Amino acid sequence: MDKQNIVLVGFMGTGKTRTAQLLASQLSMDYVGIDDEIERREKMSINDIFRLKGESFFRKVEKEMVAFFSSGAGQVIDCGGGVVLDPENMRELGQSGHIFCLWADPAEIYRRVKDSPHRPLLNVEDPVEKIKQLLEERKEFYLKARFQVDTTGLSPLETVGEIRRILDVDGRQ
């Protein structure tokens, strides 16, 4: 029997990518980075897609990638921060596996992402305020994930341990 997918959602800077890579490695599952797949398909960076084609185009392609990878199994799927905004994305991801929302406090998120040039939603005058605003706007969506993991102060390896503990306790994997 195929393993169900493990899906990581959450705001940027919460550790989704590194955690997903480590988790996939530890569990001998395939790693899928939705943003990486979008960049590969569009042959440009996420930043350039936002700048040249706009957020609505990006969200359309993102939705197509979510649908495609949700049809597979035995994957750890690393989703971009805005995937949760589309209920259809969440429904498809939830049908294919277990959704974990990683979160962290705004100061921790800013510390983690402040030196990253590829964060299009933070190209604003006051990025900390923007983080707070976006977290508040997305909170209800993030809370729809079955499992919540606070990564504030945790390394990606510690976050993997917490996810594995939840899966073991929940008897799902």
Confidence of residue 128 (pLDDT cuts 50, 70, 90): confident
The answer to whether residue 67 is domain-embedded is yes
Instruction: Give pLDDT, residue 1.
Output: 32
The answer to whether residue 28 is domain-embedded is yes
Q: Which two tokens stand for residue 32?
A: 């899928």
Confidence of residue 117 (pLDDT cuts 50, 70, 90): low
Distance CA 88, CA 94 (A): 10
Into how many domains does the chain fold? 1
CATH number for the domain harbouring residue 104: 3.40.50.300
Strand, helix or coil for residue 36? helix
Instruction: Give pLDDT, residue 3.
Output: 81
In whole numbers, what is the pLDDT of the chain averaged over residues? Answer: 90
pLDDT at 166 over 50: yes
Distance CA 68, CA 62 (A): 10
